[in-house]
Amino acid sequence: MFSPFLLRQTPLSRFALFSVSTAIAVALASGLCPMAFAQKKASPPTTGAESNLARGKYIVEGVAVCGQCHTPRDSNGNLDRTRWLQGSPVPYLPAKPDMDWPLNAPRIGGTPPASDADMIKLLTTGIWTNGNRLRLPMPQFRMERSDAEAVVSYLRSSGPKQ
């Protein structure tokens, strides 16, 4: 939609509009605006274990997106959350044929395929229990130890124990 106001803008009016917009954004972000303050909700205090699980969930689901390969899909191609991280056919193919390309991503939820120490080693160094790097398309993670521990805690808490 065309606005006649846009024709009358001068550098000074654009600066004033920018300044007001910036002031509003700062007020909202800092909680000075009553509306923004009213929307804040108190969160219950968390224990160290709860915080660690939340961190692990954030990394697994939001950063590393492990579910994209390690979770089966339903008939519509959506991740099947009832079988979260329970292993799945790898949904990606290499650009060039590769005989070493994995066909299945293993189950990592519930009981990961290695000990906690081995899983932490994998996530911090990219080295598997046999001393080899994981095959593509698995990323060669170099996580901080605390992040890797949080991921392993979350993996152990998600899914059936086998």
pLDDT digits (tens, 9 = 90+) for 26-59: 555 555 444 444 444 444 455 677 889 999 999 9
For the stretch 74-123, pLDDT in tens is: 999 999 999 999 999 998 899 999 999 999 999 999 989 999 999 999 99
Instruction: Yes or no: say if 33 and 27 are a contact pair by the CB < 8 Å rule.
Output: yes
2 pLDDT more than 90: no
Domain boundaries, the chain: 9-39, 48-157
Does residue 150 surpass a pLDDT of 80?
Answer: yes
CATH number for region 48-157 = 1.10.760.10
Cα separation of 126 and 133, whole Å?
A: 6
* pLDDT given for residue 43 in this prediction: 45
Across the range 118-135, mean pLDDT stands at 94
Between CA 24 and CA 85 the distance in angstroms is: 43
Q: What is the pLDDT averaged over residues 131-148?
A: 93
pTM across the whole model: 0.67
What is the distance between the alpha carbons of residues 144 and 36, in angstroms, rounded to a whole number?
A: 35
